[in-house]
Structure 1
Amino acid sequence: MKKIYLIVVLFVGLVSYAQQDAQYTQYMYNTMSVNPAYAGSRGVFSLSALHRSQWVGLDGAPETQTFNVNAPVSDKIGLGLSVVNDKIGPTSETFFDAMFSYSIETSRNGKLSFGIKGGLNLLNIDFDHLSRYQNEPTMIENNVNSKLSPNVGAGLYYHSDKFYVGMSVPNILETKYFDNESFSVAQEKMNFYFITGYVFDLSSSLKLKPAILTKLVSGAPLQVDVSANFTFNEKFTLGAAYRLDAAWSALAGFNINRGTMLGFAYDKEITELGNTSFNNGSFEILLRFELFNRYQKLLPPRYF
């Protein structure tokens, strides 16, 4: 049975791989990976790294690593760099992106940002690994194992001290891979994102932070993530999330100091795959580090 699931994962990886972008449970802290307009919006030099292991215990299951760095270079301009590595079965795809955002003040506390990005996508398929599970001599004989392609993206992002909302298309170009070499086709698809959230002050020491992320892509079900996090004394965060018809999640975070945050998430699948004995759920860990200078010490804390 475990091998059957492995073959299914490999088949999905080859035939429909790259239809959907990488998945995150801690999307509220990893917004720049899906929206270039977020670059520089925190007002400080910000560096973050995330690792996600999905369906732990299942051979060939997805793994994702992200690395983001961004900063404002003026009151209106923000710059960022992002690297995302997404692996499933014998396939891996790495995204290298440079981001630019331009912001305008819409109110005393609100800013609307327009963002664009450009970069390269590197797709690799390990046919030696794949050949153990299916017979595709054409691909192996041609030794086709990697493709490099350009891509661009765009987004809008509005935020105030308590509220944020954004829309984006991280990858606009729909590139096909290997369509002339074999029957297996991997194709980039446009993923449309909508994200929003708010911070409610329940007391002087307790805040509630609900958030929603919606992702739409042709050929796949609508994905909706709903989460609610409680922050205590601006130090500890605990919360829960639900991914429509897919998983329940638990989230936790700790602000080590003003500039360093550590976050964790665990997903429990509610699909048929989640009922298997060798699927131990999905795990995420996130680390964010920020640099403040003496002129920024009076900035209000940001929760997203």
Structure 2
Amino acid sequence: MKIRKGIQLGALLSMVMLSASDMYGQQDPMYTHYMYNTTNINPGYSGTRGVLNVFGMYRTQWVGLDGAPQTANISIDTPLGDNGLSGGINYTNDRIGAMSENSFSVNLAYAVDLNDSYKLSFGLKGTANLLDVDYTKLDIYNPDDPKFGENINNKFNPNIGAGLFLYSDKSYLGVSVPNFLTTDRSQNEGTELMRQKMHFYLMGGYVFDLNPSLKFKPAFLVKTVSGAPVQVDLTANFLIVDKFTIGAAYRWDSSVSALAGFQVNDGLFIGYSYDADTSKLSRYNSGSHEIFLRFDLFNKYNKVSTARFF
């Protein structure tokens, strides 16, 4: 039986908003397939595959919990010549409870050769955020509270970010801050309801050739923001005959995941993951699902191997 909206995530959101002026831990969307959705959090990844890369993802979290997060993301990145310059764009729609946010980003990156194996890419990100909050979707204890008297429509907040991405054909290490600016996400009657703060990301992975038909890639992602616990994702994937990907992931004190992927042809890769919640919320939801498509369109500057695995 479903739990009433008022004690599900919509109510959780209400309690967050009612906490008035100290909401500093608002988290960016989370992804289980972060190793494929990299430009969303690190602009330095742009163009590193050496092709026109088109990526689309949809994530539905905590299925069965009313108002639970749902995130859709589309990104495109490509080299802009053979001089190390690359560019890209991202669009993300993130919905949770009464809130819906649309984010549009433009990425610019420049890569330099460190030696015969490694390159270092410097990336910059500019973002425009548009926030909507529909208070009619909440069960509000005091309907006359002025903080909830007027919906928020397309509240605009700009931001800037940057990232470094060190990579070779077998490994990568990245550090990034997608949003440097601390911005008030909404204000009503002079009261600050939410605030976005800097998120720091550290990610890395290495590909081991176990035999000619089997590759193994452990990877990690660490995310931290003031006012919220550090989030650590640990992932292990196997690539079989350069076609099939299977793996597992663990999000510290949050969930365990199963991952799978299939290289349909040289240009198309599809993937899916299922997260089983290990927190107290597991009593109220049946897990999270994530699906993505990645298109690699080869261009005249380079041809990336589909077996690069990230």
State whether residues 157 and 185 of structure 2, in contact with CA within 8 Å, keep that contact through their aligned partners in structure 1. Answer: no
Specify whether residues 142 and 91 from structure 1 end up closer, same or farther in structure 2 by C-alpha distance, changes over 3 A only. closer
* C-alpha deviation, 1:89, in angstroms: 0.1
State whether residues 138 and 182 of structure 1, in contact with CA within 8 Å, keep that contact through their aligned partners in structure 2. Answer: no
Post-superposition CA distance 1:13-52 (Å, at most 9, x none): 6464872110000001111110011111110000000000
2:307: which partner in 1? 301
1:67: which partner in 2? 74
3-state secondary structure, aligned to 1:28: coil
Separation of aligned partners in 2, 1:17 and 1:93:
17
State whether residues 54 and 75 of structure 2, in contact with CA within 8 Å, keep that contact through their aligned partners in structure 1. Answer: yes
Bigger drift between 213-222 and 123-132 goes to: 123-132
* C-alpha deviation, 1:129, in angstroms: 1.5
Post-superposition CA distance 1:226-267 (Å, at most 9, x none): 000001000000000000000000000000001100000000
Specify whether residues 61 and 283 from structure 1 end up closer, same or farther in structure 2 by C-alpha distance, changes over 3 A only. same
2:114: which partner in 1? 106
Counterparts of residues 22-33 of structure 1 (less than 5 Å): 22-33=29-40
State whether residues 13 and 88 of structure 1, in contact with CA within 8 Å, keep that contact through their aligned partners in structure 2. Answer: no
1:289: which partner in 2? 295
Separation of aligned partners in 1, 2:165 and 2:3:
43
Separation of aligned partners in 2, 1:140 and 1:269:
32
Aligned residues: 302
2:8: which partner in 1? 5
Is 2:199 the partner of 1:191?
yes
1:175: which partner in 2? 183
Separation of aligned partners in 2, 1:6 and 1:300:
40
For residue 89 of structure 2, the aligned residue among 62, 81, 85 is 81
3-state secondary structure, aligned to 1:145: strand
Unaligned residue ranges in structure 2 (runs of 5+): none
* C-alpha deviation, 1:275, in angstroms: 2.5
Counterparts of residues 150-229 of structure 1 (less than 5 Å): 150-181=158-189, 183=191, 185-229=193-237
3-state secondary structure, aligned to 2:8: helix
State whether residues 268 and 281 of structure 1, in contact with CA within 8 Å, keep that contact through their aligned partners in structure 2. Answer: yes
3-state secondary structure, aligned to 1:242: strand
Separation of aligned partners in 2, 1:274 and 1:29:
26
State whether residues 13 and 89 of structure 1, in contact with CA within 8 Å, keep that contact through their aligned partners in structure 2. Answer: no
For residue 241 of structure 1, the aligned residue among 245, 249, 254 is 249
State whether residues 7 and 133 of structure 1, in contact with CA within 8 Å, keep that contact through their aligned partners in structure 2. Answer: no
RMSD after superposition: 2.0
* C-alpha deviation, 1:133, in angstroms: 6.3
| TM score, norm. by length of structure 1 | 0.93
| TM score, norm. by length of structure 2 | 0.91
Specify whether residues 117 and 11 from structure 1 end up closer, same or farther in structure 2 by C-alpha distance, changes over 3 A only. same
Separation of aligned partners in 2, 1:192 and 1:125:
26
Specify whether residues 136 and 286 from structure 1 end up closer, same or farther in structure 2 by C-alpha distance, changes over 3 A only. farther
Specify whether residues 59 and 99 from structure 1 end up closer, same or farther in structure 2 by C-alpha distance, changes over 3 A only. same
Structure 1: which amino acid aligns with 2:80?
A: V
After TM superposition, which residue ranges in structure 1, 4 or more long, deviate above 6 angstroms?
none
Is 2:37 the partner of 1:36?
no
State whether residues 51 and 284 of structure 1, in contact with CA within 8 Å, keep that contact through their aligned partners in structure 2. Answer: yes
State whether residues 48 and 288 of structure 1, in contact with CA within 8 Å, keep that contact through their aligned partners in structure 2. Answer: yes
Separation of aligned partners in 2, 1:284 and 1:298:
25
Structure 1: which amino acid aligns with 2:235?
A: S
